């Protein structure tokens, strides 16, 4: 039967023919077809099994080791040139608001080997992209290379216009473009990334590998955008009002060192960093170093009291200027009499502070300044950090002038962290821009005793109530602080016309939570300040306005404290001090 021999055992279960086995055999073409089908099934099954094993292995690798190529968005191969576009993680503030993010955009390139007429193609491109550099583009199109960039990060409308040209040599690649939604608001902290998506400044540079290596995990900072907005707005208004050449400001959590706001003016738009000049790109808050003037008297008084070199009831004669070798130290507003320690502090006597520093001695002064973190760079997570300028050799005249804030230059963030240690119980915390939960806050370093810290809070409150910091007083939020005014060095020594004016304020001073530092670079007096450009007239009011605005945002309940001098009882820790011929009682807190 057509080459087939099919035998059946029938229904009876027996075969009358001898040699009948009951099996079915295929021979000839039927057998061949069956064998081929079976082989194909085996091959297909093997391939499916192999594919399953590969996918399973890859899933295990990703689950256990992570995706090592997670930062690669796409790679294009054109004419032998590979182009890789990397994604970066978002940067957010403490409340989760975006500070930096990435958007997918289209970038235009060309295969110059397919360009017939470089000049004509360039001319057509210039019609839809008029800002192209004609000569540069023409040279690229005539280069004969397989891949040349024409324009990065085009808008959808520009992409459509280029497509309408119908030029086969032109094509697009999807790239990641770094975007800063708030523009210049936190420019010096966040920094910026370049066109190749690598960090070039600020947090973007400091955490470049982290941002590229884990693009799905946002980097959370300690900044509070609300505080940042208030500080920048008030600083900008002060720069305009006092015609200053620049300014810096910091809001710091005194118990953790977390930076809630940091501003440097002038600033720039990180979306277009190339438009900023050198001054705008310079971070005055962490990279600038300044002789901070009388704010340093806070350290001088604290270290002298803490070391037992002087008592709160002691003082010095400031009747005559202090002469050391060829140098003469004078007071800006001379009281010309014996001053108690509180009077030296609130009247900001250079003579008294210099004598106090000399009583401490150079070695103890240096040791305390080191505890306050003022002799080395601030350990903050930025690449733009300054080395402080300290005297070498450190002579008696240096010890004296450092006592009132001249002869040593530090950054504003260093000063803020050091002052925080004076009021928080005596612990210095490294300033940080990274958000940490309460149980992850880094341990601090003891700088002064809790008792000395309490005394400094009382004296700083006295400065705002009766001294040079009156204009920082804020209703509902008791403020303590210290003014600072330093002359800048010119061609012929210190120049009285060029000042660095500052004020550092702490609130609420009875239970400090935040420190606000404002520095104005070369402010000029105006009618409202009666021509004065000192810290008490220019910087202190700015700190007061910042506190009045961020106080309610911080969730701190308003409180009223008794003014120094009022009867505040006899609770432990209350101070009685001599002030301008009267006994003043300072409440304990």
Catalytic residues: 294
Task: Provide the residue count of the chain.
Answer: 589
What torsion, rounded to 10 degrees, do the Cα atoms 241, 297, 251, 194 define? 80
Q: Give 3-state DSSP helix, strand, coil % of the chain, rounded to 5.
A: 35, 25, 40
Closest CA to 154 of 131, 124, 133: 131
Terminal-to-terminal C-alpha distance of the chain: 115
Pairwise CA distance, residues 305 & 111, whole Å:
75
Task: List C-alpha distances in Å: 213 to 66, 194, 330.
Answer: 10, 17, 57
Query: What is the CA angle 233-234-235, rounded to 5?
Result: 95
Render 323-360 in DSSP notation, one character per residue: EETTEEE--TT---SEEEHHHHHHTT-HHHHHHHHHHH
Closest CA to 269 of 383, 191, 152, 382: 191
Strands 219-220 and 91-92: parallel
Residue 50's contacts (CB-CB under 8 Å, 6 or more residues apart) are none
Place of tokens 């209703």: 475
Pairwise CA distance, residues 322 & 310, whole Å:
19
Tokens of 439: 């149980």
Pairwise CA distance, residues 248 & 520, whole Å:
7
DSSP code at position 290: B
């Amino acid at each position: 039967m057509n080459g087939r021999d099919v035998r059946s055992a029938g229904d009876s279960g027996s075969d009358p023919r001898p040699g009948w086995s009951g099996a079915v055999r295929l021979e000839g073409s039927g057998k061949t077809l069956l064998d081929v089908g079976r082989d194909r099934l085996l091959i297909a099954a093997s391939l499916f099994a192999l594919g399953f094993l590969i996918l399973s292995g890859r899933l295990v690798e990703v689950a256990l080791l992570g995706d090592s190529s997670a930062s690669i968005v796409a790679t294009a191969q054109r004419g032998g040139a590979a182009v890789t576009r990397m994604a970066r993680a978002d940067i957010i503030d403490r409340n989760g608001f975006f500070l930096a993010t990435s958007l997918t955009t289209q970038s235009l390139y060309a295969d110059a080997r397919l360009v017939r007429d470089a000049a004509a193609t360039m001319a057509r491109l210039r019609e839809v992209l008029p800002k192209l550099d004609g000569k540069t583009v023409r040279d690229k199109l005539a280069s004969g290379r397989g891949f040349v960039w024409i324009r990065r990060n085009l808008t959808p409308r520009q992409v459509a216009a280029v497509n309408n040209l119908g030029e086969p040599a032109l094509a697009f690649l999807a790239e990641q473009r770094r975007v800063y939604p708030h523009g210049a608001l936190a420019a010096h902290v966040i920094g910026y990334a370049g066109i190749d998506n690598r960090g070039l400044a600020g947090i973007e540079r400091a955490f470049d590998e982290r941002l590229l290596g884990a693009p799905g995990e946002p980097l959370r900072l300690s900044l509070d955008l609300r505080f940042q907005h208030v500080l920048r707005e008030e600083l900008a208004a002060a720069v305009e009002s006092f015609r200053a050449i620049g300014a810096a400001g910091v809001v710091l959590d005194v118990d953790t060192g977390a930076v809630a706001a940091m501003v440097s003016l002038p600033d720039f738009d990180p979306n277009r960093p190339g438009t900023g000049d050198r001054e705008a790109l310079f971070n005055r808050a962490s990279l600038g170093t300044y002789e901070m003037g009388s704010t340093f008297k806070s350290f001088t008084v604290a270290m002298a009291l803490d070391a037992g070199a002087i008592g709160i009831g002691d003082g010095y004669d400031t009747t005559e200027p202090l002469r050391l070798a060829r140098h003469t130290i004078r007071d800006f507003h001379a009281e010309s009499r014996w001053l108690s320690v509180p009077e030296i502090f609130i009247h900001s006597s250079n003579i008294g502070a210099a004598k106090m520093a000399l009583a401490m001695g150079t070695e103890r002064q240096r040791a305390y300044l080191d505890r306050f973190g003022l002799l080395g760079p601030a350990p903050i997570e930025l690449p733009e950090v300054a080395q402080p300028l300290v005297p070498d050799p450190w002579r008696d005249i240096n010890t004296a002038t450092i006592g009132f804030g001249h002869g040593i230059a530090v950054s504003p963030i260093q000063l803020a962290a050091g002052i925080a240690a004076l009021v928080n119980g005596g612990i210095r915390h490294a300033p940080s821009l990274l958000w940490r939960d309460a149980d992850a806050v880094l341990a601090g370093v003891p700088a002064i005793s809790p008792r000395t810290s309490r005394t400094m809070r009382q004296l700083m409150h006295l400065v705002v109530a009766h001294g040079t910091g009156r204009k920082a007083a804020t209703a509902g939020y008791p403020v303590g602080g210290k003014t600072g005014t330093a002359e800048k060095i010119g061609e012929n020594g210190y120049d009285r016309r060029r000042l660095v004016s500052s004020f550092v304020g702490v609130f609420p001073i009875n239970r400090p939570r935040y420190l606000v530092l404002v520095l104005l670079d070369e402010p000029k007096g105006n009618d409202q300040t009666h021509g004065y450009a000192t810290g008490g007239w220019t910087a202190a009011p700015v700190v007061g306005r910042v506190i009045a605005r961020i106080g309610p945002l911080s969730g701190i309940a308003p409180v009223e404290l008794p003014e120094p001098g009022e009867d505040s009882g006899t609770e432990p820790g209350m101070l009685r001090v001599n002030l301008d011929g009267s006994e003043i009682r300072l409440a304990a807190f």
